[in-house]
Chain A
Amino acid sequence: MSMLSRRIFIHDGFKVVSLGLAMPHIFTRAAQAAGAEAGRDPSALHSPDAQSNDPYANRTLIVVQMAGGNDGLNTVVPFNDPVYLQNRKNTGIPEDQVLKLDDRFGLHPAMGGMKSLWDEGKMSIVHGVGYPNPSFSHFRSMDIYQTANPEGKADEGWLAKLVKGSVDRRGHPFAGFAAGGTLPPALMSPDYPIPAVSNVDNYKILPDPRYALDAASRQDALVKLYQNYPGGAPFAQVLRSTEEGTLSSIDQLQKAHQAYKPAATYPTDGFGSGLKLLAETITGNLGVKVGYVTIGGFDTHSNQRNQHQRLLQSMSDGLKAFWDDLSAQGKADNVMIMSWSEFGRRVAENGSNGTDHGTATPQFIIANNMKGGHWGDPLNLSQLDKGNLKFTTDFRSVYATVMDGWLGAPADKLLGARFPTLGFLGNGSAM
């Protein structure tokens, strides 16, 4: 990447794009438009921007939220630290059960799928992720991660800000996409609609079955009624942008859905279906820059063993299937996965065979052509703050690395401060 193209990008990245004017559809197909510019039939082109000299053009970031506070110590197990099992007599995972990464760390035994990605050098583990003055509230801590703001306050989520303010070198807006029927706060903006989809088969406007011909007239009226809702009235921005965003995303999503044939077998749980949906948007060339999926239930205060096993199995199997699918469809090189969780758990287990709210926890990064391995300093289990781990890596450093190095977005500007980047994209050395 030349400095020149980077500057253009950053400059363009802060043109505010007005949705209604800039694009007829929410998924602006940068690729399609590029093909049309070159006088080719856009529909015949699978990935026309491959010829572009912009290395970021077709890249996608997939964010995986592990909601509830993932017990990092039982996920990336420091099996040779005796303090670990001393604190985890009932819930700890002994050395002979972990999937060893090296002589210090092993993955939870349910994570065979992710272990194979690690073995291929396609996975990084960022250790000790957290932030200063940690909150033990799920909700405040999630707010902090989702806004990338230490007070958890902002007028939109950090990913919405990334998607909304940025355009690629041709001026096409980024698209965001949330798998699941709930839009995560990280992708929320009062005036910029990001589709949240749980089931594409339901993702359409039902007509009056007896008068299908009336559908256009009825929908025209609906659009006008929303346009004429006063702009300063309550919820005007969110309602109008939701209505516009919905109507402008249905057709392309249906098209991508019909064309998609999975090349791997996904787990049949909600997380697996979410990943499959994300794969549809990627193989369908919808121009999705940021995709999002949540796996919930990590708040393991009691009987942690079975619950945590089930969740990590689901996550690991799902991500492996997703990666296999994308690889078979020739898309994996353009995708990066980043996981996060609002906090880890207390080092010492409680009396319920579970763990209470804690602090730092690892993040996983998955990508081809990445410098896999351990990043960030490992946590010290012997130097605690009132029983809690002291974080070693600020989560905004991970965000900055991904925004800057993977998407070519101006991380300093988006985060409001400069955070040191980590080296997993190739320009640094692992610990």
Chain B
Amino acid sequence: MAALAARRPPAPLLLAGIAVGGLAALPAVYLAITIAGETTSAAEAVFEPRTLEVAARTAALVAAVTASAIVLAVPLAWLTVRTDLPARRLWATLTTLPLVVPSYIGAYLLVSAFGPRGVLQDVLEPLGVEQLPSIYGFVGAWLALTLFTYPLVLIPVRGALRRLDPQLEEAAGAMGRGPGQIFRTVVLPQLVPAIGAGGLLVALYTLSDFGAVSIMRFDSFTREIYIAYQSSFDRTEAAALGAVLVIAMLALLALYARLRGARTYHRAGPGTVRPAGAIPLGRWKAPALALCGAVVVIALALPVGLLVYWSTQQLGEGVAVGSVLGNAGNSLLVAALAAGVGVIGAACVAVLAVRYPGRVSTLVERLGYAGYALPGIVVALALVFFGTRVALPLYQTLAMLVFAITIHYLPLAVGPLGAAMLQVPPRLEEAARGLGRPPLEVFRTVTAPLVASGALAGAALVFLHAVKELPATLILAPIGFETLATDIWRQTSSGFFEAAAIPALVLLLVAAPPLYLLSEKGTVTS
């Protein structure tokens, strides 16, 4: 009845929200401050011909990975949703799983399989093959990123295919169109928004990826930034390159936001969607199975199999696993702290945004995304500047590392928490107040239990990403503090492929429980 007017939030909540927003924006702000202080040398760095080359290389990689991910994902989505493919559900799960493999593990496994002194070389040498074409560089980065990011397109396209109204296809069939024509003229146009959204996620991932490109020794922006950061005392060049990268990210993010807004196609008529009948594959059944099988073998079975094989071999050789366990403990510690702190921060943002909508709340919510919009390596870099110039006692401490990872993944927790908050009618809280409980009691007994599952999903998402995080950990970790991710990276960079197997396998195992939790809840892992 009466419209509920925007109410003023309680002062502690408002202050907490502003603090979270402000802290999340700190890297972006400090990056801007750094560059503003050194405009001339920053401009020099940006307008160097080399920068343009890096930009062109990165753009080529982004375009290639996005295109190939789409080409791979759309047929897989169609096969696993709309056809009579045998064991369709199993294929649907298996083709999604490669998303779990962090890009640097994927890249490392590709190098160890197809690179010089790699598995394939060993197999082929007796046959007289002296040297394989090099996997390093563009081809390797492109392969690795495609194989482990195409599920980002697969998931939304599969969702869109399920929502399609089969009546449209039936109508086209009744007008005398064949199956191929129907797919091109009716189905594909309706999938465009989902393909676009998924493709942009792949592009964003590729643009900000550090692990795969650095293992493949491909000089994209992130690797250049890392090299510039490591090799000189004047870090303005790294900052300037970071800023260019951020601008590219923001452009893609803006495009993504627009696509998401325009994503819904309306169905032709009222009523619920009737599930579409499965399209018989006929003699195409074998090639379809071969495609699905090949993808699952290359992107899932081979990598995991190789890890398991090497790990057992290593264990058989009596390699000490003590350091791996210590590193796993560090990974768990950082990820758990980031998940815990992230959920608390996200709760402030979500309560403010959902219960007290207004200008300040909107600002806090937007600022919460600032750390997410920056690539991990840029967040880390900005915090290095901040740490060395402003907060020296915090520089290279665990607190700084957890802070960086938390703000980087904060929106992952805000999402499910905000959705859960929206499901709790304010009436419930009002009813509880009327029954004699003060506000904090109401939060404890009514709001918190009802949003608990959303908070858990948010925590699981942050944990999942934090445990795999590489560049920020590499740059910000206290001296001597190794995690599974940094250990894998260091071993691989030095060519000790077998030694990286155990930590990589442990990392996949550590990521499994939160992933299982999320898939049980139906939260898409993207």
Partners in one complex: no
